[in-house]
Chain A
Amino acid sequence: DAKTTQPTSMDCAEGRAANLPCNHSTISGNEYVYWYRQIHSQGPQYIIHGLKNNETNEMASLIITEDRKSSTLILPHATLRDTAVYYCIVRVAGGGSQGNLIFGKGTKLSVKP
């Protein structure tokens, strides 16, 4: 069963903020929200993760609702190089089999000039 729901595709104008939503209504208290992206034919790239507080790093910001049932990944100034499939993944932070990343279909983000 899919733990997350994301739109199939989104467009964004270059230079604008890209806001990618994710629903995870069945998230457990010890599960984190992770975001990865995969640019065509390349290995997935880690972007950001969070538990309940909003997080920001050099790549993006992650906004998690207070009830933790949904989140939004924000790319503040999208460039053409941000065109990729973005995956929202919910899992515990443990390693080994707990670290198994279950990639759904993700959101294909197209950044247009």
Chain B
Amino acid sequence: NAGVTQTPKFRILKIGQSMTLQCAQDMNHNYMYWYRQDPGMGLKLIYYSVGAGITDKGEVPNGYNVSRSTTEDFPLRLELAAPSQTSVYFCASSYLLRGNEQYFGPGTRLTVT
């Protein structure tokens, strides 16, 4: 299994641009999550999904949107990028009935200038 994969690894955006961060998992996990991690800080939950077609806001959802059309994919959309969105973005997935431990992707490092 590839586990959780994320693309791209790095991206530089100009203020006001938009982009989609891709996340996919091949473990048939029902739960998926998006976190952001600012330098020297812990992770903050942006959005999560409990299954295809079902998403909900986390702690810091403003400026982001998500969709979950399949079990495998959970893209994160940034509209009108702002410097405050400069961060490392991690996607994670978990399977509730197995203790719900989360497995993380390698991250996308985003800079907005």
Q: Which residues of A contact B (CB under 8 A)?
A: 32, 34, 41-46, 49, 87, 93-97, 99-106
A contact patch SS: loop
B contact patch SS: strand
B50 an interface residue at 8 Å Cβ cutoff?
yes
Q: Count residues on chain B whose CB falls below 8 Å from chain A CBs.
A: 27
B30 an interface residue at 8 Å Cβ cutoff?
yes
Nearest-neighbor residue (CB-CB) of A43 within chain B: B104
- Bound-complex Cα distance A99 to B30 (A): 12
* B35 contacts across to A, CB distance below 8 A: 101
- Bound-complex Cα distance A106 to B43 (A): 12
* B58 contacts across to A, CB distance below 8 A: 97, 100
* A93 contacts across to B, CB distance below 8 A: 96, 99-100
Which single member of A34, A42, A97 contacts B48 (CB below 8 Å)? A97
* A46 contacts across to B, CB distance below 8 A: 101-104
Q: Is the CB of A45 within 8 A of B56?
A: no
- Bound-complex Cα distance A100 to B59 (A): 9
Distance in Å: Cβ of A7 to nearest Cβ of chain B = 16
Distance in Å: Cβ of A73 to nearest Cβ of chain B = 14
Q: Is the CB of B43 within 8 A of A103?
A: yes
* B90 contacts across to A, CB distance below 8 A: 43-44
- Bound-complex Cα distance A100 to B106 (A): 18
If A42-B107, A43-B106, A100-B58 touch, whether A95 touches B100 (CB-CB below 8 Å) is yes
B82 an interface residue at 8 Å Cβ cutoff?
no
